[in-house]
Amino acid sequence: MENHPPKNPATSPTTLDDEQKNVRPENMSLLIVDDDEPLRNRLGRAMEKRGFKPVLAAGVSEAKASIKLEKPAFAVVDLRLEDGDGLEVVNAIHEVSEDCRVVILTGYGNIATAVAAVKAGALDYLPKPADANDIEKALLAPPGERPPPPENPMSADRVRWEHIQRVYELCGHNVSETARRLGMHRRTLQRILAKRAPR
């Protein structure tokens, strides 16, 4: 019996079932917006292997310029960009292409805004670094259906940590004010902030 090396989820072919493979649209144009260049390029290559035709943009202005040249059928947008907010990109896309299927990528402290992005028309949000298979499944989920849950969803501890980081950020990194708003003892909050993010 042969031993096969484990597949790398960022580069291995997708594991979509046959039904989803058969409903792929003709237009597979994909706009990827992320200011992290290595991640953007890596995701572009991974999605190209899955049959998409990616166009890469580093921020809001590049994304808006790209949208004017070609309306994408799909988009993957980082919520926090150096030159603005990913929500600007989502709104700009839907102004020219209501049917574009958008997935938001969110880093720490951005869950509340990511939920707002879904309300604004994004299909779903996925935590960074997102798995290319999870992104593909979300983009190709049948219309009207929720995408399947990611293979490695955030733990409850991670969601709590994200919420605390978000409030901490909104309070201008003021520990006392953050603790007051969260109804938490100041020392307890300091211990949480000193730890690394849970998985």
Indicate the SS3 state at residue 48.
helix
Residues 124 and 51 in one domain: yes
Residues 130 and 161 in one domain: no
Q: How much of the chain exceeds pLDDT 90, in percent?
A: 32
- What is the amino acid identity at position 125? Y
Mind listing the pLDDT tens digit for each residue in 36-60? 888 899 999 999 999 999 999 999 9
Residues 22 and 85 in one domain: yes
Higher pLDDT pick, 2 / 190: 190
Residue-range definition of the domain harbouring residue 171: 156-194
Query: Cα(120)–Cα(133) distance, rounded to whole angstroms?
Result: 24
Residues 169 and 104 in one domain: no
Residues 116 and 163 in one domain: no
* Residue 150: predicted pLDDT: 58
* Residue 7: predicted pLDDT: 42
Residues whose CB is less than 8 angstroms from the CB of residue 26 and which lie 6 or more positions away in sequence, other chains included: none
9 domain-assigned:
no
- Count how many domains the chain has: 2
Residues 55 and 83 in one domain: yes
Residues 28 and 109 in one domain: yes
Nearest CA among 150, 79, 154, 149 for reference residue 120: 79
Q: How confident is the model at residue 141 (pLDDT cuts 50, 70, 90)?
A: confident
Residues 171 and 81 in one domain: no
CA triple 93-126-155, angle to 5 deg: 160
- What CATH number is associated with residue 165? 1.10.10
* Residue 119 to residues 32, 45, 78, 139, 145, Cα–Cα distance (Å): 20, 29, 16, 16, 15
Residues 98 and 183 in one domain: no
Residues 85 and 60 in one domain: yes
For residues 34, 27, 148, 162, the Cα torsion angle rounded to the nearest 10 degrees is: 10
- Decide: 131 and 152 in contact? Cβ < 8 Å: yes
6 domain-assigned:
no
Mind listing the pLDDT tens digit for each residue in 19-37? 444 456 788 999 999 988 8
